[in-house]
Amino acid sequence: MDLASAHDGLRPLMFSIAYRMLGSVAEAEDIVQEAFLRMHRSTQESGEIDNLDAYATTVTTRIAIDTLRSARHRREQYVGPWLPEPILISDEDPSHRLELDETVSTAFLVLLESLTPVERAVFVLREVMAYDYEDIAPVVDKSATNCRQIFTRARKRIADGTPRFEPSPERRDQLASQFVAALSTSDVSGLERLLADDVVFVADGGGRAPAIQKPMLGAVAVARFLLGLMRQGERFGVRLELSHANGQPAMLTRGADGALLGVIALDVDGDRIVRMHNVLNPDKLGHLGEVGDLFALLAQR
């Protein structure tokens, strides 16, 4: 099969790798486009490629490593905490239809930020794509033995931050529904029961939307903070909508006009919510539809 015929079939594979590497929809799309350009030039110079999937994986991963290296500096200068861009179950772009397992959850992508670009590439290719170490080695320019060692270290680091008791999807959705119900009725004790004692609430406004600059810790503090936000939002017609982001339960915050204001992903361990990641930066929400202006909304007070 030639590259032009395989284009639509290769895009989801390439996007899947690039998104897991960068945690950014926009950057992943740019990487996929650049990878296709390089592959096209290669086919013009060398003729048809024998194994398009393997070649696409190699080219995409190498560009993603280079992109992540340059992105590290930008993220160090980022205003407030940095969170990955959410992908909703309702996303209609065929290339965005990832295998929505734990390796694309917001919490997992945040954990991947602790890895170096090469560690992240080895981990993604081995854990997600199920590549043999002999196949990973030429992609990252390491020996197969070295790749095995890199993966072992990376997996241990990631395992230290993953949930110990993974609930069923049905249980996660049930907890999310209970959480929204408690928020809607201002049930502070109900909220606190659903939150782990050491729950963490992280918000990403990137300087483009109002957001807390440091993670908030503790069930009591987080519950009361969220209820305060709800009371404030009700004055402007803000509403919550249950959804799924990156394969996990999430709440979409919408303005009275339906414009998206934020996406809060819920990370559940056992019977408690242990982390909440609130993406408010409009630059990270634009691929999901019309985005509202939180600063302008709050200025109406």
Digit-by-digit pLDDT tens for the chain (301 residues) are: 678 778 888 999 999 999 999 999 999 999 999 999 999 888 877 767 778 999 999 999 999 999 999 988 788 889 999 999 999 977 767 766 666 667 788 999 999 999 999 999 999 999 989 999 999 999 999 999 999 999 999 999 888 776 667 788 899 999 999 999 999 999 999 999 999 999 999 999 999 999 999 999 999 999 999 999 999 999 999 999 999 999 899 999 999 999 999 999 999 988 999 999 999 999 999 999 999 999 988 888 6
Q: Among residues 136, 160, 184, which one ends one of the domains?
A: 160
For 254, the token pair is 């919408």
- From the CB of residue 183, how many other CB atoms can be counted at a distance below 10 Å? 20
Q: How far apart are CA 61 and CA 140, in angstroms?
A: 8
pLDDT at residue 98 in the model: 67
Same domain, 120 and 173: no
Cα–Cα distances (Å) from 70 to 41, 117, 260, in that order, read 24, 10, 30
- CATH number for the domain spanning 139: value is 1.20.140.160
Q: In whole angstroms, how large is the CA radius of gyration of the chain?
A: 20
Same domain, 191 and 119: no
Same domain, 10 and 149: yes
Backbone angles phi, psi at 284, to 5 degrees: -95, 0
pLDDT at residue 8 in the model: 84
Same domain, 83 and 124: yes
Same domain, 273 and 154: no
Cα–Cα distances (Å) from 86 to 18, 120, 228, 263, in that order, read 14, 19, 24, 7
| Amino acid letter, 118 | V
Same domain, 154 and 179: no
**Tokens 């945690």 label which residue?**
23
Same domain, 261 and 130: no
pLDDT at residue 113 in the model: 92
**Residue 283, domain extent:** 169-300
Predicted model pTM = 0.91
Kindly compute the dihedral angle of the four CA atoms of residues 184, 188, 190, 193, in this order, to the nearest 10 degrees.
130
Q: How far apart are CA 123 and CA 170, in angstroms?
A: 28
Same domain, 200 and 106: no
pLDDT at residue 20 in the model: 95
Same domain, 113 and 183: no
Q: How far apart are CA 104 and CA 80, in angstroms?
A: 22
User: How many separate domains does the chain show?
Assistant: 2
Same domain, 187 and 54: no
For 27, the token pair is 């950057």
CB 282 within 8 A of CB 206: no
- From the CB of residue 295, how many other CB atoms can be counted at a distance below 10 Å? 12
pLDDT at residue 206 in the model: 95
Burial class (CB in 10 A: 0-12, 13-18, 19+), 264: buried
